[in-house]
């Protein structure tokens, strides 16, 4: 009985001394260009090695890493971080893990077609679905600089004029050319609609705007963090 217990203890010690990755995280997974990310890892009984396809400007290069560290970097473009530990099992995740970060621009522009025309209701407009403004759930702080595209005869005209957004709760946000813009404070995605109010001389039977473009300021302080 004592021999079995001793053998079991030896097996446990041998197993616990195997090299491997205990934790690896890059957070947040999406940031605005030039913003800070936190890279952290914990490795047992091995030497960590991290490769990045698009290294941050302040990446240390060949500088060795400790087995347990947290470091902060500033990223300029999308990057994929791969942590490996030599001698660890690569098949079950003990020896290799990867994390990525998506980089977006703070001042983004989004264009949307508005194929639906309504000139019979109380408000005459053309409308259509909005694309997702940020691919990682970053909220829009403000929209500004609206413009529309309208076909007049054989020519396509770009006009600066009023554009509105309608959120899933039917709350309308409108912005006029010039000025400081309109606060949004929410994630803008495909559940939203873009609307272009028609002028008094426009109707669904004639030439109406077909596409709208609005510029957005992304709220870089409110990008969601990675779930642990």
pLDDT digits 0-9 by tens, 75-91: 999 999 999 998 887 77
Burial (0-12, 13-18, 19+ Cβ within 10 Å), 228: exposed
Rounded to an integer, the average pLDDT of 94-103 is: 92
Whole-number pLDDT of residue 133: 85
pLDDT (0 to 100) of residue 227: 63
Structure tokens at 158: 């770009």
pTM (global) more than 0.85:
no
In this prediction, residues 195-205 reach a mean pLDDT of: 92
Could you give the strand order of the β-sheet that contains 36-44, starting from the edge strand earlier in sequence? Answer: 20-27, 36-44, 68-74
């Amino acid at each position: 009985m004592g021999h079995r217990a001793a053998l079991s203890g030896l097996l446990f010690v041998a197993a616990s001394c195997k090299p491997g990755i205990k934790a690896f995280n890059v957070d947040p997974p999406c940031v605005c260009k030039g913003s800070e990310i936190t890279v952290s890892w914990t490795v047992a009984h091995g030497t960590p090695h991290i490769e990045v396809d698009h290294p941050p400007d302040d990446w240390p290069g060949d500088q060795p890493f400790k087995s347990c560290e947290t470091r902060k970097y500033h990223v300029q473009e999308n990057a994929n971080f791969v942590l490996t530990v030599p001698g660890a099992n690569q098949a079950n995740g003990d020896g290799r893990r990867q994390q990525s970060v998506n980089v977006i621009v703070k001042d983004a522009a989004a264009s949307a077609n508005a194929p639906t025309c309504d000139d019979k209701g109380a408000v005459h407009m053309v409308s259509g679905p909005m694309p997702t403004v940020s691919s990682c759930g970053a909220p829009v702080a403000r929209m500004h600089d609206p413009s529309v595209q309208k076909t007049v005869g054989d020519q396509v005209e770009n006009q600066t004029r009023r554009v509105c957004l309608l959120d899933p709760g039917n709350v309308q946000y409108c912005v006029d050319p010039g000025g400081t813009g309109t606060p949004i404070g929410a994630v803008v995605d495909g559940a939203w609609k873009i609307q272009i109010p028609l002028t008094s001389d426009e109707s669904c039977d004639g030439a109406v705007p077909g596409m709208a473009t609005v510029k957005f300021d992304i709220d870089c302080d409110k990008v969601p963090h990675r779930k642990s």
